[in-house]
Amino acid sequence: MKLDAGIRFLAIEGVIGVGKTSLARVLADKLEATLIEEEFAENPFLPKFYENPEAYAFQAQLFFLLSRHRQFQDTFVQNDLFRNLVISDYTFDKDRIFALQNLTDSEMAMYETVSTVLSKDLPKPDFVVYLQASVQTLMHRIQGRNRPMERGIEGNYLRDLLERYNHHFWHYSDCPVLIVNTDNIDFVHNEKHLSQILDVIASSPSQTTYLVPEGG
């Protein structure tokens, strides 16, 4: 399957545990695209942040900001891969969602200064797939993958983060957004679910679209 020529950069977004990377990998394989995966495991401050958020939030956030900027620079600027479809399991904008959730006012002011400089020349996605799920579903998936650093994540934290994500993507205007409810789907092992997502992307909607995949 080939996408509309206007879609050269497709981003998958959503809260922790919603399935961003899984969908990005499946789509990249299906569409023969270049894949950008977030390098969360390389952040030395992330485990410390989960243990002591107040002490390590700024360091963890700044590391992510610089890491994401470097990844986008490497892919889009240095290698000029915009000739091929690029699929990412995050948007550069998502960094600010976490910053608003985790940083103090003074830390946020410094963060905004750095972020504004870094984001100036970075490409924005042509299409975003925003994956949603209930807090209960997210907690179940996080517990199921059993990453040591995520064991301390609480439902209230996810609930607050989910509200910020919803607000961000419900008001997102940089490109069309497909909002997919993932509570009862499996796009990795269920071809029907994946096909429904692909069909909407391929139709190139010009505005926000909602999808609750059907079929077993």
Q: 121-137: per-residue pLDDT in tens?
A: 888 999 999 999 999 99
Number of domains in the chain: 1
Please report which residue ranges of the chain form alpha helices under DSSP H: 20-31, 46-51, 53-72, 94-102, 105-119, 135-145, 155-170, 191-202
Residues 6+ apart with CB under 8 A from 92: 68, 69, 72, 119, 122, 124
pTM: predicted TM-score of the whole model, two decimal places = 0.91
In-domain check, residue 3: no
In-domain check, residue 45: yes
Give the Cα separation of 177 and 201 in Å (integer): 9
In-domain check, residue 216: no
> Does the pLDDT at position 81 exceed 70?
no
Give the Cα separation of 203 and 179 in Å (integer): 14
Q: Which percentage of the chain shows pLDDT scores above 70?
A: 95
Query: Sign of dihedral through CA atoms 205, 208, 214, 216?
Result: positive
51, 60, 43, 163: which is closest to 111 by C-alpha? 60
pLDDT at 115: 96
Query: Sign of dihedral through CA atoms 104, 109, 115, 116?
Result: positive
In-domain check, residue 178: yes
In-domain check, residue 118: yes
In-domain check, residue 130: yes
**Residue 109's CB: how many other CB atoms inside 10 A?**
10
Selected catalytic residue, list 4, 74, 80, 89: 89
pLDDT at 75: 83
In-domain check, residue 21: yes
> Does the pLDDT at position 153 exceed 60?
yes
**Whole-number Cα distances in Å, 2 to 7, 27, 30, 178:** 10, 11, 9, 18
89 has catalytic annotation: yes
Which structural domain, as residue segments, surrounds residue 207?
9-211
Q: Which CATH number belongs to the domain containing residue 18 in this structure? A: 3.40.50.300
Do residues 131 and 19 lie in contact, with contact meaning Cβ atoms separated by under 8 Å? yes
Query: pLDDT (tens digit, 9 = 90+) per residue, 185-202?
Result: 999 899 999 999 999 999
**Measured at the alpha carbon of residue 22, what is the angle toward residues 200 and 177, in degrees to the nearest 5?**
35
Do residues 88 and 126 lie in contact, with contact meaning Cβ atoms separated by under 8 Å? no
HSE toward the beta carbon, residue 4, CA cutoff 13 A: 14
